[in-house]
Chains A and B, each alone.
Chain A
Amino acid sequence: MASLAATFGRGAMTNHWKDIKNTDVILVMGANPAENHPCGFKWAVEARDNRGAKLLTIDPRFTRTSAVADRHMQIRPGSDIAVLGGLIRYALENDLHHADYVRAHTNATFVVGEEYDFADGLFSGFDEAASNYDRTAWDYERGPDGYVRRDASLAHPRSVFQLLKRHYDRYTPEVVADIAGCSVEEFLQMAEIICSTGRADRVGTIMYAVGWTMHTVGSQIIRTAAILQLLLGNIGRPGGGINALRGHANVQGATDHAIVAGILPGYLKVPTPPQTSLATHMSESTPRPLVRDTVNYWGNYPKFYVSQMKAWFGEHATRDNDFAYDYLAKQDGDATWLSIWDKAHQGTLEGFVALGFNPLLAGPDVPRLLDAMSKLKWKVVIDPFMLDSAEFWKAPGMNPADIDTEVLYLPSSHWIERDGSFTNSGRWAQWKEKAVDPPIGVRSDTWILSELFWRVKELYQAEGGAWNDPIQHLTWDYLNPREPSMIELAKEINGYDLRTGRLLSSFGELTDDGTTSSGNWIYTGSYTEAGNQMQRRGTDDPGGLGMHHDWAFSWPANRRVLYNRASADAEGRPWDPSRAGIAWNGREWIGDVPDYGRTTPPDAAGAFIMTEEGVARLFSSQQLADGPFSEHYEPVESPSPNALHDNVPINPVIRWYDGVRESLANGDDDYPYACTIYRVVEREHFVTSNVPLLVETMPDFFVELPEGLAEEKGIANGSQVRVWSKRGEVQGTAIVTKRIKPLRVNGKVVWTVGIPVHWGFIGITQGSMANLLTPFIGDANTRCPEFKSFLVNIEPAGSARMET
């Protein structure tokens, strides 16, 4: 999501599920929606069958999605940037980009400062000692008015457009084929179809998921795709977009409500220790416009922030106390997954609360994770089912006598057993009703968390303690303070006009003077005086594009397609009248809820209201840690040198935790095969290991390997096979398949092995944990672990393991 925000201003799927039916070309890459999003995938099938859309897959495996696609191209895990970079070059080289769109809606015209450079695998500003970049080296050039200098002709050698052309010029079809292992012909055939959408009357979409995020270059893979879609003019348009498919029913909702480290609900920023006052936090968090004609909507940051503090601390958040700014903990360092477990590994983390997930199976390098968990003093697991994480001391190879960790397991209700809302990938918050009562004695998450809060509060009242005020002053005025209802929480999230007690109907009403509250500004409008908007079930669809504005609530402001101002040209005429997002009728915008002022004339401001530039960023000047453009770097464990710059083979600014370098295979022959892990449709992560009929459909842990490799190793289909990395080993049933082929990468044959994630030592059937194999390393921006590409060896189970 980091890279979508870095490109467009918001980190979310740009379009929505049903909108996929409006497209001409669907590129599925870094995703396998037939497998992992079967219900939403129906819209891809509908586009294919009803519109004649081309459905394409690019993946290390021929997947269930490939089975119904028009064309499939196999690539090596971790070569995505090379392929996408090649597509950018192909579009520019053949003049297939949507020139009018690029000029009107991207920063192609912006001039970059003289300091910017890229040479030998490094951008300018690299600090080798600190392993990071000084991003000021990537600044735009300013004019005398203080705004960014622009060149409408795009001819300036330091214009973003020219820099972009130069940067991706190295990604020739031959280089792509060399890195990814596909053939030049295959790539060109794909490129021709994908780049056919760079016209006003054609539009293409990209569907991706964790196949892109789970790399050390995850953010930059998505950036490359976003750049491609901007060049082709596919962002903001019905049938277009870059669509992040979220894994569980409510991942988008969880992200919106700050499940990711470093953000507050609504993508506000967690204050840091140097920000000693509200004023500093505001000034460092509120972007200033880079051009004259921009809406710069994040300029309203103070309104969102103050309203959130009013929701949390009510009358205790006043102008005089900086709206309780000091009540919030200041985040020092990063609290991402890898960093948390690194702390535990070092023995400096005391306890861990796992709420609604199975951390032991969900994280990389399980041997390291088991060691880290054993060093915790206590661990609380709150879940409807007994989890491997709660019984980690029972894992194969563990000796419970050596472990002092106290584990508390609190059975909680399942989402089927409570009301609430789910926010789907397409940002639709849909209310759901409880289907059944939880078993007797099982409590809801809200009961458990409220009780935790009250007991801490009462302890503080009885015994006092450090920094008591935030705990005593936290607003908790629910009808039953020991178990707030979902309706009460939904209203609190929506927010009130505190002078009248009226539920707000739009975040446009939020103020920074303490007269409004909102728990999460992007959800303001979801529960208004007119009722619970998430509960709406109107099926009208006047435009026929599947927008359904009367169905549920879509953040922000019930808008169905983000950045829809870009669906029209500079004058406000839709690029494609048959698929109009919004259109300017001379007085106002009609169609979708405009991502723009409803009566703001088309030429008054840029289309991308969430960026300081007012346009989308082909060049992401300050947003990402590892470069304003993307670059192909190999996975930390790779079967191949970097064909572009062998001196900088991997992402130079990833964070290395203690002992991780030693846990990696470094190009030796002991671990010659590329490996990737994934999910299967029959199972939903780990929770379905308790559902007999689903376990039956895919009973056992397995290892997929290509026919040729199986032959070489003497592995028969259906036999037991052992796979090991430098970190751990797994054993399972071999599925010998034609769906993974050997690839020729930089002149060398590379085999790929595939492993599903759904098994552990708890559940109806047990199996190896896939993450016994994966490396403890993550993306330079998000620290999302590199689950998708690493090295292994393989042999028939039963024979002696090759010692290294």
Chain B
Amino acid sequence: MADSLTIRRVSASPDAYIPISALRSAGPTYAKLVDIGACIGCKGCEVACKEWNDLGVEPTANFGSYQSHKDLSPKTWLLMRFNEVEVDGNLNWLIKKDACLHCEEPGCLFACPAPGAIVQYTNGIVDFNQENCIGCQYCVTGCPFDIPRFDVHTRKVSKCNMCVDRVEAGLEPACVKTCPTNAISWGSKHDMLALADKKVETLQSRGFQNAAVYNPAGVGGTHMMYVVPHGDRLSDYSLPTDPTASPAPMTALGFLKRVGAYLMGFGVLGVLGHFLRYGPERLDEDGHDEDDHRGPGPASGHGAVPGPGAFSAPDAPAGPGAAPPVA
């Protein structure tokens, strides 16, 4: 069954700031679950990601590792990272699928000043729309997982989009489809959480006392979660212990909007005072009408939210008529 995409949040718009509690009722969201304990690091997902998203080959050289590239890039949205670590005298070859975690509260989206460059769909996927990207890279600093990558040639930022085109058509993301050991699962967040708990239980019964689900609360949880065998050693997997969606840009922007609204209010009051004191202005011979004198109000700015025709946002109706629910 194909799913129609509905937008939940839009960058640089009042829709970016909908309180999470208001969103929770929006309906089921998807999640990808990566079981690090079952991953063999074959890079099948890495190749499938490039194939499906047509990212192309990025020339690389062996740098003393099984890892194909040193880092994520605009052409490598998914990277298998390899790390050799000794835990209690036992060698562990930690292999982690590094890609966007699709935060419930996406720091990239909150940080983005370009209207519509980053959207979050109601199904949980966080997607970049390059046509609206202004290349400022605020999303790069806003991401607590260091995922988005800036392309110096196109001046745009990109990252994993959870194969949103496949998901819209009712398919799983390409990486999930290709995984040979079922280390990547796909389903509703609810089901994936239950599966994750089961997998943690299995790991614990195999002696991994600290096995844990990685679904950090600081970003409201994620739509790509990990089952981590050594939950007490997150940094060895290059996973931040307590990531948060940096609220700074959002708060600052909100504050500025509030200031703007007050200033506008004072302006209106000033005009009113002027009117009361001096009375209505008379039309001159050239016939200038009232419209020429009406300044842009807050609502007009909101109207700049891009709405690609296919997208709609019923839960938080956007558009010129809606009042900005400024926090």
Q: Which residues of A contact B46 (CB under 8 A)?
A: 697
- For A736, give the chain B residue with the smallest CB separation: B64
Known: A67-B95, A68-B38. A49 touches B50 (CB 8 A): no
Contact call B64/A697, Cβ cutoff below 8 A: no
B-side contacts of A34, CB under 8 Å:
40, 42, 181
Please state if A41 and B68 are interface contacts (CB–CB under 8 Å): no
In the complex, A744 has a CB within 8 A of chain B: no
Say whether B42 contacts A64, CB under 8 Å.
yes
Chain B residue with Cβ nearest A734: B64
Q: A681-B40, A738-B84, A739-B84 are in contact. Are A67 and B93 (CB under 8 A)?
A: yes
Q: Bound state CA distance, A744 and B50, in angstroms?
A: 45
* Complex contact B95–A702 (CB within 8 A): no
Name, among B42, B60, B182, B206, the residue most crowded by chain A CB atoms within 10 Å (CB to CB).
B42
> Among A49, A62, A68, which residue has its beta carbon within 8 angstroms of that of B202?
A49
A46-B182, A49-B199, A693-B57 given; 4 more Cβ-contact pairs under 8 Å: A68-B38, A718-B63, A719-B64, A733-B63
Interchain nearest-CB distance for A417 vs B (Å): 19
**What is the interface residue range for chain B against chain A?**
35 or more
B90: min CB distance to chain A, Å: 9
Q: Please name all residues of chain B whose beta carbon is closer than 8 Å to the beta carbon of A698 when the two chains form the complex.
A: 62, 66, 68
A699 contacts partner chain B, Cβ-Cβ < 8 Å: yes
User: Which residues from chain A contact B3 at a C-beta distance below 8 Å?
Assistant: none
Q: Are A70 and B206 in contact (CB under 8 A)?
A: yes
Chain B residues near A67: list those with CB within 8 A: 40-41, 92-93, 95
Residue-wise interface mask of A (315-332) relative to B, using a CB-CB cutoff of 8 A (1 in contact, 0 not): 000000000000000000
Q: List 7 A-B contacts (CB under 8 A).
A: A35-B42, A45-B38, A681-B41, A682-B43, A698-B62, A699-B61, A737-B84
With A and B bound together, what is the CA distance between A681 and B66 in angstroms?
10
As a 0/1 sequence over residues 28 to 67 of chain A, the CB contacts with chain B under 8 angstroms (1 = contact) are: 0000001100110110011011001000000000101111
Contact B205 A52 (CB under 8 A): yes
CB of B74 within 8 Å of the partner chain: no
**Distance, CA A694 to CA B43, complexed state (A):** 9
In the assembled complex, how far is the CB of residue B114 from the closest CB belonging to chain A, in whole angstroms? 31
Q: How far is the CA of A35 from the CA of B58 in the complex (A)?
A: 23
- In the bound complex, what is the Cα–Cα distance between A64 and B65 (angstroms)? 13
Q: How far is the CA of A718 from the CA of B44 in the complex (A)?
A: 24
**Scoring B residues 60 to 101 as 1 if CB is less than 8 Å from chain A, else 0, what string do you get?**
111111101000000000000000101000011101000000
Chain A: minimal CB distance from B230 (Å): 13
Residues 28-70 of B at the A interface (beta carbon under 8 Å): 37-44, 46-47, 50-51, 57-66, 68
3 smallest A-B Cβ distances: which pairs?
Answer: A718-B64, A717-B64, A34-B40
Please encode chain A, from 143 to 161, with 1 for each CB lying within 8 Å of some chain B CB and 0 for all others: 0000000000000000000
Bound form: Cα–Cα A692–B183 in Å: 25
Interchain CA distance A67-B38 in the complex, whole Å = 9
Residues on B with C-beta less than 8 A from A70 are 206-207
Interface flag for A93 (CB, 8 Å): no
Q: How far is the CA of A699 from the CA of B68 in the complex (A)?
A: 8
A735 near B57 with CB under 8 A, answer: no
- Say if the beta carbon of A696 comes within 8 Å of chain B: yes
A696–B180 CB distance below 8 A: no
CB of A700 within 8 Å of the partner chain: yes
Instruction: Flag A63-84 by CB within 8 Å of B: 1 or 0 each.
Output: 0111110101000000000000
Contact flag A68-B62 (CB < 8 Å), given A52-B205, A693-B51, A693-B57? no
Residue of A whose beta carbon sits closest to that of B75:
A696
- B91 near A681 (CB under 8 angstroms)? no
CB-CB < 8 A to B68: which residues of A?
Answer: 682, 696-699
Q: A39-B180, A66-B93, A739-B91 are in contact. Are A733 and B64 (CB under 8 A)?
A: yes
On whether the beta carbons of A68 and B64 are closer than 8 Å, the reply is no
Q: Of B40, B47, B60, B64, which contacts A699 at CB under 8 A?
A: B60
- Chain B residue numbers with a CB within 8 Å of A64 are 40-42, 93, 95
Given contacts A64-B93, A702-B62, contact A38 B181 (CB under 8 A): yes
Chain B: CB-nearest residue to A62: B91
Nearest CB of B to A643, in Å: 27
Residues of chain A with a CB closer than 8 A to B205's CB = 52
* Complex CA–CA separation, A692 to B92 (angstroms): 30
The residues of B that contact A62 with a CB separation of less than 8 Å are 91, 93
Closest A-chain residue to B94, C-beta based? A67
The answer to whether A38 and B64 touch (CB under 8 A), given A67-B95, A738-B91, A739-B91, is: no
Q: How far is the CA of A38 from the CA of B91 in the complex (A)?
A: 22
Which residues of A are found within 8 Å of B181, using beta-carbon distances? 34, 38, 41-42, 45, 68
Asked if A735 contacts B66 (CB within 8 A), the reply is yes
Q: Are B64 and A735 in contact (CB under 8 A)?
A: yes
Set B44, B51, B92: member contacting A38, Cβ < 8 A? B44
**Which residue of chain A has its CB nearest to the CB of B51?**
A693
Smallest Cβ-Cβ distance to B39: which chain A residue: A68
Residues from 173 to 188 in A contacting B, C-beta threshold 8 Å: none
A717 proximity list for chain B (CB < 8 A):
64-65
Structural contact, A694 and B47, CB atoms closer than 8 A:
yes
Interface contact A696-B58, CB-CB below 8 Å: yes
A696 contacts B62, C-beta separation under 8 Å: no
8 Å CB contact of B93 from A682, A697, A702, A739: A739
A739 to B37 alpha-carbon distance, docked (Å)? 18
How many Å lie between the Cα of A736 and that of B65 in the bound state?
A: 8
Candidate in A38, A66, A702 with the most chain B CB atoms within 10 angstroms: A38
For chain B residues 6-32, which have a beta carbon within 8 Å of chain A? Answer: none
Bound-state CA distance A19–B181 (Å) is 15
Closest to B48 in A: A693
- Docked complex Cα distance between A694 and B57 (Å): 9
Report A719 CB to chain B, min CB distance, Å.
Answer: 8
B47 CB contacts on chain A under 8 angstroms = 693-694, 697
- A45 contact from B59, B95, B182, B207, Cβ within 8 A: B182
B93-A735 in contact (CB<8A): no
Q: Min CB distance, A37 to chain B, in Å?
A: 9
Residues from 736 to 773 in A contacting B, C-beta threshold 8 Å = 736-739
Q: Are A700 and B51 in contact (CB under 8 A)?
A: no
Kindly list chain B residues whose C-beta atoms are within 8 Å of the C-beta of A48: 206
Q: Given A45-B181, A739-B91: A692 and B57 within 8 A (CB)?
A: yes
The CA-CA distance from A505 to B183 in the complex, in Å, is 41
Give A681's nearest chain B residue, CB to CB.
B42
Interface mask (B144-188 → A, CB under 8 Å = 1, otherwise 0): 000000000000000000000000000000000000111100000
Chain B residue, CB-CB nearest to A732? B62
Shortest CB-to-CB span from A733 to chain B, Å, is 4
Q: Which of B50, B59, B65, B84 meets A693, CB within 8 Å?
A: B50
Distance in angstroms from B192 CB to nearest chain A CB is: 16
Minimum CB distance partner of B84 in chain A: A738
Q: Give the CA-CA distance A697 to B61 in the complex, in Å.
A: 9
A716 surroundings in chain B (CB, below 8 A): 64
- Known A67-B93, A697-B68; judge A38-B62 contact (CB<8 A): no
Q: Which residues of B contact A694 (CB under 8 A)?
A: 47
Name which of A682, A692, A734 has the most chain B CB atoms within 10 A of its CB: A682
Q: A704: shortest Cβ distance to chain B, in Å? A: 9
Q: A42, A692, A718, A735: which contacts B182 (Cβ < 8 A)?
A: A42
- For residue B50, which residues in chain A have a CB less than 8 angstroms away from its CB? 693, 696
What residues of chain B lie closer than 8 Å to A739, measured between beta carbons?
Answer: 84, 91, 93
A687 shortest CB reach to chain B, Å: 15
| Minimal beta-carbon separation of A492 from chain B (angstroms) | 35
Q: Closest residue to B38 on the A side, CB-wise?
A: A45
Residues of A contacting B66 in the complex (Cβ-Cβ under 8 angstroms): 680, 698, 735
Please give the distance in Å from A184's CB to the nearest CB on chain B. Answer: 17
The interface centre, meaning the residue of B39, B62, B92 with most chain A CB atoms within 10 A of its CB, is B62
Chain B residue with Cβ nearest A698: B68
CB nearest neighbor in B for A70:
B206
User: Which B residue sits closest to A733, measured CB to CB?
Assistant: B62
Q: Are A38 and B180 in contact (CB under 8 A)?
A: yes
Complex CA distance for A68 and B61, rounded to whole angstroms? 27
> Chain B residues with Cβ under 8 A from A66's Cβ?
93
Chain B residues contacting A734 (CB-CB under 8 Å) are 64
